[in-house]
Structure formats: C-alpha cells, structure tokens
C-alpha cells in the first residue's frame, strides 16, 4: 500500500476481520476478543494508520473539541500565569484517552460565544465565572455540557470544582502571624464578591481577627495577577508601607515577581520581609529563596473537571455535583520569624 493512503478497509483485510470489528477496536466499543484486538492494534501500528477524525465526528455528530474558558481576561494573563497551563495539562491528560482536543479561550464581557456553534464545541470547562453576570447567563443558554472551575455559584445543579479558598487564605495568614508578623500586606487580584480572591481575603481577615489584629484597608493591594504587578508592588511597599514585615500573595506568579522586585531594591527576604504565595506552582521551589506557599493540586482540579465533563457529554449522571479540593501549607525559605 506504499504511496496510497491506508484505510480502515486495509486494516480489516490484513486482520481478517470486518470493518465493524476494526471500528470497535478504534473506538473502544463492542466486544472484541483480546487476541483479535492485539492483532488489529499491531497492524494499525505497522501501517501507521490514523482514522479520519472528520468522518468519525460526522457519524457521531461530535467535533471532539472542548473549550476551556477564562472569562474577564486581563491583558497577558493567560501567557503570564502558569496556573492556567498546569490546569490545562490536567484537563488534557483526561481528554487524551477520549481523543478530545482542547482549545483555550480568553473571553471579554461582551463575548457572544458564536465560536461554540461555529466550531461545534462539544463541551465547556469555565474558569472563574461570576454568578449573575451577563457572561454567565450566555453560557447557561448554550445548552451544551458545562463544568465550572473556581466559580462560586448559587445553582447547586451545575457541576463545579473548587478549592477551599477561605481555608487557604486563613492558613497562609496564620503562618505569618505565628512567626510574629502583625503588619501583613495582602497582595490580591480584584476582590470581586463571591470570587476566589474574595474568599481568600475572608480567610486572611479571619486569621487576623483570631489574633486580635485589626484589618487595615491600605494593606490590601488589589493588583492584576502577573509577575510584572508583583515586581512593581515591591517599590510601593518599600515607599509607602515600610512598616510591613510580611506579604501574603494570593498567587505564586505575583509572589515570584515580588521576590525579584525586592531583590532589585536590596530588600532581603526573609530577613527584612517575609513572602508567602498561593498555588505551589512548579516554579515555587526554584525561586531564591524558595517560596513558602499554600498548596493546591492544580492538575487534579483539571482532571476532576474533565472527568465530570465527559460524564455529561456521554449522558451519564455526575457522581458529585460540587467537589471541594483541600489545601495545605508548604513552608520553604521565604518566610521567617520577624526580626526585631
């Protein structure tokens, strides 16, 4: 068959089986004897046969495309924040076995979601949706399977994967208080009510209240989530918040930028200023000093989301509508007892 495109008929002929049997092996359907399955797979590998995705999708009326949606994107956020890439890696791991392809889409508030119809998207994983927003209403009107991640929703019937964000904010702040810090800067993204950062801020406030520390509005810095924002905040802390002895960043990417900014200003971490991050991203253990951070299993979050989405796409009941993943503190070298 050299010079010609290999077809499913060629595979069936060489295997001595019907085309339907080869199709069952390719799609993991039907009952096929193990010996026959191995023979067909061996022939497929030898011929380097690639089944026509377009033909299979036409038959199944599926595109095998799912979209990961990040609403209200700030410029450069997708590129700058490794959180999204780790999350997508977890999603891709689960999608691969089902031959699903992923597109990552950052949408603006006026997004019409016309691409869902144009590209025949089979399902959505939506990150950071806000209950009651217009974009949320448009998503619900799409009438396709949807799973939400890091979205605090009032509708309990919507499949949702989230983190115990309030506890994460609490344990990060509690750690710094245990080291003697009282003037603790919170570097967050926008504190949208019922958003992820909002609940982490609530945990920060709870830890302060337990320690008898009055919250101070000027110590809460709402900045875009990026390394550049963290870098720039270093100058602001040095100039305007010199009494601060610690900074709790609600993302590792901001904490990493802050560490570089402090280094360039000659401010020693943790001797002069302790820094704690949030996420335990892959880069956190490679900073100098290594970053103390609140750990979340980002890949697992993605894996759980794609598992739920596949169940919805296959018409199966979702085992658990709302999954809340845990957090834990990872102590490294960027935090230390306050130096008097």
The model's pLDDT over 137-187, given as tens digits with 9 standing for 90+, comes to: 888 888 889 999 998 888 778 899 999 999 999 999 999 999 999 999 999
Q: Which of 37, 82, 62 is nearest to 257 (CA)?
A: 82
pTM for the whole structure: 0.78
Q: Where are the domains of the chain?
A: 8-51, 65-163+298-324, 165-296
- Band the pLDDT of 71: cuts 50, 70, 90: low
Q: Establish whether domains 65-163+298-324 and 165-296 are of one fold.
A: yes
CATH H superfamily, domain 65-163+298-324: Response regulator (3.40.50.2300)
Answer for the pair 176, 184: CB distance below 8 angstroms, yes or no: yes
pLDDT of 333 reads: 98
Bridge partners of 246, per DSSP, are 184, 274
Tell me the CATH number for domain 165-296. 3.40.50.2300
Q: How many CB atoms lie within 10 A of CB 124?
A: 20
CATH 1.10.260.40 fits 8-51, yes or no: yes
Region 99-106 average pLDDT: 86
Q: Is pLDDT of 198 > 80?
A: yes
């Amino acid at each position: 068959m050299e010079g010609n495109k290999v077809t499913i008929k060629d595979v069936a002929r060489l295997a001595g089986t019907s085309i339907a049997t080869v199709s069952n092996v390719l799609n993991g359907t039907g009952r096929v004897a193990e010996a026959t399955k191995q023979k067909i797979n061996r022939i497929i590998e030898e011929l380097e046969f690639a089944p026509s995705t377009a033909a299979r999708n036409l038959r199944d009326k599926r595109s095998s495309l799912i979209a990961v949606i990040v609403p209200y994107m700030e410029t450069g956020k997708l590129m700058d924040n490794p959180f999204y890439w780790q999350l997508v890696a977890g999603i891709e791991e689960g999608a691969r076995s089902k031959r699903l392809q992923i597109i990552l889409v950052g949408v603006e508030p006026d997004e019409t979601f016309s691409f869902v119809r144009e590209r025949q998207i089979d399902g959505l994983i939506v990150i950071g949706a806000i209950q009651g927003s217009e974009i949320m209403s448009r998503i619900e009107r799409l009438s396709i399977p949807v799973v939400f991640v890091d979205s605090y929703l009032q509708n309990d019937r919507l499949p949702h994967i989230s983190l115990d964000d309030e506890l994460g904010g609490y344990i990060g702040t509690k750690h710094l208080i245990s080291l003697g810090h009282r003037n603790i800067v919170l570097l967050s993204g926008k504190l949208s009510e019922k958003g992820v950062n909002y609940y982490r801020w609530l945990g920060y406030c709870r830890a302060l209240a337990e320690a008898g520390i009055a919250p101070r509005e000027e110590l809460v810095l709402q900045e875009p989530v990026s390394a550049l924002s963290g870098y720039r905040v270093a100058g602001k802390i040095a100039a305007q918040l010199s009494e601060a002895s610690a900074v709790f960043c609600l993302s590792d990417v901001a904490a990493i930028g802050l560490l570089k900014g402090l280094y360039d200003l000659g401010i020693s971490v943790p001797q002069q200023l302790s820094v704690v991050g949030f996420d335990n991203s892959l880069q956190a253990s490679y900073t100098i000093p290594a970053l103390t951070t609140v750990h979340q299993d980002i890949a697992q979050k993605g894996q759980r989301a794609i598992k739920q989405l596949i169940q919805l796409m296959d018409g199966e009941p979702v085992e658990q509508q709302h999954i809340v993943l845990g957090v834990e503190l990872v102590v490294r070298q960027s935090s230390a007892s306050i130096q008097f």
